[in-house]
Structure 1
């Protein structure tokens, strides 16, 4: 069967069907964003209070739980044009990536690749500043092992974006955006060649800033209207730089050209909207915005990751395509890797890994006891454990904490 996700009216849901998406944003319902199994008629009745139809994952559903008529109806159905492309990618042509290594075993190699790609990007910026030809083959060579590592287990590279600090915001932002974009593309099930393009685009979409005055980029004050108009020119400068460079795929060029366009047409430089913005440009816009608001910038402190997720959620359907925002939130999790959180037993932990199908229950490392004192020995907890045991309530996250809460720096407490 070609279709792996079916649109099903709630009244037609049967026990054993796995609900992977809703007809409305997850955060507007009491359900976890990772999906859930229909286990009884009561589950169906409860869901009817919020949704008219849902999307059912055929692979995760129990065998023979889906009537043939529903499959036939879906094969005949057409999709709304606004969501057709993302549905095509995430539901029909998706490559089902799985974690094939542990975070711990992946970290050593990932750290080496992280340093290599950061060094390559630094050289690339210097070449651009000096009007030299951009060495794209070298960039691609350094990107390839990074992409393979993220395919195997994205948690390692995502964690490194919190541990590492490159020379300045530009370097750190490029590497972090590339990591988020590849993790996002992996979640969407894109083939490896396109994951490499996503990473390449993230390293190049701000290359035009090398042609801006450094004093403007280093300003610690909010830009004036005139200064911001100057900064906007970096997109056009980047386009001109890349036009002179061989070996750039169209989807990479699209990211450079459209990463500041917005869903409602309010972006720049062309004021494109909705599906006028290529998919890779839409992805670039989301990861660029998310990493910017969670990073230390000269003129603005970072938002806590959970507040950044709330901001993205508010921007859905306005700045960014709703379907893509919701998919990205599933990648990042409500509490992203590197976030400080308080647990239900009052202890404090840092998130060190995501559970792909249980985004509200990540893996954490406990740093402070319930008395908020630093533990002599840290320990890991998988918050998914005990989920199915009604007799022993499992540990949960009670709230997110801002960066630096209790004077903690998560990068000091990992190894």
Structure 2
């Protein structure tokens, strides 16, 4: 087996080496969680303020920065590239999508498509509750423009997922999971037809819950073992309903059937594990869990996005496939677009755009002053601007905040 990660003391780092892990949590440092390349001795000195040693990714490092004998395995083969890892996950070459529009340019179009898919899903859910056949062609027609918007720039739709009405968790969970799944599939380089299937599957994987007692779904206490067994039936209910509709494909059925299966075999209804779970089912499980724990639910308050990401990271290799969790974290970032944050100068703002290679340094719209009073005029700052400055003046992010913190109403202030 080739060596792909090296433990290196900070004093021994060389320009060109790619740091993929630290000897402490990423959140205790100003560095991006997806790693960074050592460019100069200055980077080395700065890193020494936080770490004694780090882990270097051999594949992402410049070849001349790593001793040649380390790059080879016993047979003299080169280790697999990141593209090869994506290929192994998806079984297809990766399509590289570029942002074709800015968040601002895409936002108006995204709002129109967001309302369309939400209204379509509400109609679909009413049909399901009334035992009518599901009109999947109408759903697909509504989904396709949403997918195209996310392909152009995911930030706009991701922004809109944070403007959820707390009284309509069922509707918004379906839309949000679809958005995250498409953004995830886009990152993995899946073709458009597969992105459409991801969105469709997320709209439908909980459709069977309409057959469960409303009191059970809306309760505010922990479910008993018997009640939980009843809730599990929504998977089979949903499968039967969707199978009766026209034009459903295998990827969508896989998502409904396996979105509650878990990597270690602890899920339901079949107790599948590892590669027994189809890729789309593994993706569905991750986005379902992430959106659920960051949303208002009848029995649970949301947690900040960065805590949710930390939770997913802890569950890697247990509930979810490690490689997929790591790829999803790259999509979401520690502070996703639309999430509230408190800055080091005590002001509060909302993340409006990601800086792709500096996930801890996003663009922020500041809403509250240091006394937590609403500003008369909001202003934007890009936390990446001072990154290379010895005399930085911009604040940094102190902590993520849950939705609704300081009584901020996203739908009222963010447009």
TM over 0.5: yes
**How far apart are residue 324 of structure 1 and its match?**
1.5
2:76 and 2:154 mapped to 1: Cα distance? 34
Q: Which moved more, 1:29-38 or 1:347-356?
A: 29-38
Shift of 1:84: 7.9
Q: Which residue of 2 aligns with 1:155?
A: 155
**Counterpart in 1 of 2:59?**
55
Deviates more, 1:361-370 or 1:199-208: 361-370
User: Taking structure 1 as reference, are residues 368 and 296 closer, same or farther at Cα in structure 2, changes over 3 Å only?
Assistant: same
8 A contact 2:107–2:156 mirrored in 1: yes
Q: Deviations over 1:64-89 (max 9, x none)?
A: 9899999997994577xxx9865634
Q: Is the 8 Å Cα contact of residues 7 and 56 (structure 1) preserved in structure 2?
A: no
1:91–1:331 CA distance, 2 compared to 1 (3 A): farther
> Does 2:97 align with 1:97?
yes
SS at match of 1:341: strand
Query: In 2, distance between residues paired with 1:9 and 1:224?
Result: 47
Q: Kindly state the Cα deviation for residue 356 of structure 1 after the two structures are TM-superposed.
A: 1.6
- TM-score, normalised to structure 1, is 0.86
- Residue by residue over 1:332-377, the C-alpha shift from the partner in whole angstroms, topping out at 9 and shown as x without a partner, is 1111222221212222111122112111111110012223322110
In structure 1, stretches of 5+ residues that fail to align are 1-5
Distance 1:72 1:312 in 2: 33
- In structure 2, distance between residues paired with 1:386 and 1:27: 19
* CA-to-aligned-CA distance 1:227-268 (integer Å, 9 cap, x gap): 110110011111112222232221111110100001111100
Q: Which of 371-380 and 278-287 deviates more?
A: 371-380
Residues 273-308 of structure 1: CA deviation (Å, up to 9, x unaligned): 111111111110011011111111112221222222
Tell which deviates more after alignment, 290-299 or 237-246. Answer: 237-246
1: CA distance between counterparts of 2:87 and 2:54? Answer: 21
How far apart are the structure 2 equivalents of 1:178 and 1:112?
Answer: 16
Q: C-alpha separation between the residues in 1 aligned to 2:223 and 2:136?
A: 32
Distance between the aligned counterparts of 1:25 and 1:286, measured in 2? 25
Give the Cα separation in 1 of the matches to 2:297 and 2:132. 28
Decide whether aligned partners of structure 1 residues 266 and 282 sit closer, same or farther in structure 2, where only a CA change above 3 A counts: same
SS in 2 for 1:56: coil
Contact 1:354 1:363 in 2 (8 A): yes
The Cα of 1:186 is off from its aligned counterpart by 1.4
Matches within 5 A, 1:14-413: 15-16=15-16, 19=18, 21=20, 27=26, 31-40=31-40, 49-51=53-55, 53-56=57-60, 76=77, 86=86, 88-89=88-89, 93-165=93-165, 168-413=168-413
- Residues 200-209 or 379-388, more deviating: 379-388
- Note closer, same or farther for the CA distance 1:188–1:70 as it changes in structure 2 (3 Å cut): farther
Q: 1:142-167: per-residue Cα shift (whole Å, max 9, x none)?
A: 11110111111111111111224386
Q: Distance in 2 between matches of 1:328 and 1:183?
A: 9
Alpha carbons of 1:269 and 1:335: their partners in 2 closer, same or farther (altered >3 Å)?
A: same
| Change in CA separation of 1:29 and 1:363 when aligned onto 2, cut-off 3 Å | closer
Any conservation in 2 of the 1:7–1:54 contact (CA below 8 Å)? yes
1:41 deviates by: 7.1
How many correspondences in the alignment?
403
Deviates more, 1:102-111 or 1:383-392: 383-392
**Secondary structure of the equivalent of 2:185?**
helix
